[in-house]
Amino acid sequence: MLSENLLKPLEKVTGYKFTGEGADLSMDEAGYAICKRASEEYGLSVAYRVEQLKSGGLFNSTTENCVVIFNLQHPHDYFKYVLRFKKQGRVLFLTFFYYGSSKNTGNMNRKGILGATIRAAVGTKQLHQEEYDYYTFLEMAIREAFG
């Protein structure tokens, strides 16, 4: 189960609103559309899963399902994207968040001699650029899947 406290807003992809037939979009359809676009157009190795998202405190907590999009080649060291569904009447709102940690971003941000040694030893600049490109392409695929 994923906690809402871990989520950070995804600034480049704010959200989408669907009405009419689009408001019946399922989580599986949304996850599949994003992963298919990311794979076919950008060659990304991504997958999705439906997970429960817990929000609220100890006595007033609620759970809802959400879609988690992750990199198959880096399931533990790249950020994961979360697609949250909110249906109000005949309107569906999709909002995007991210959570997790990035090993490459952490290595790039280390300071001092130790940080420089780590960056030089593992080629962090190249790894960081590859990860950055992954996020850029995934966000483009998200916009194209719903735009």
Tell me the whole-structure pTM to 2 decimals. 0.84
22 in any annotated domain? yes
Contact 59, 75 (CB under 8 A): no
Domain count, the chain: 1
Task: Indicate the Cα dihedral angle 76, 135, 122, 45, nearest 10°.
Answer: 60
130 in any annotated domain? no
Task: Indicate the Cα dihedral angle 90, 95, 100, 102, nearest 10°.
Answer: 150
Task: Give residue 95's domain range.
Answer: 2-102+139-146
How is 118-130 classified by DSSP, letter by letter? Answer: HHHHHTHHHHHHH
Per-residue pLDDT in tens (0 to 9) along the chain, 147 residues: 999 999 999 887 778 888 888 889 999 999 999 999 999 999 999 999 999 999 987 788 899 999 999 999 999 989 999 999 998 888 999 999 999 988 766 544 444 444 444 445 555 677 778 888 999 999 999 999 987
Q: Give the pairing of strands 46-55 and 2-3.
A: parallel
- Tell me the C-alpha distance between 51 and 73, whole Å: 20
126 in any annotated domain? no
35, 99, 101, 142 from 42: Cα distances, Å = 10, 22, 23, 12
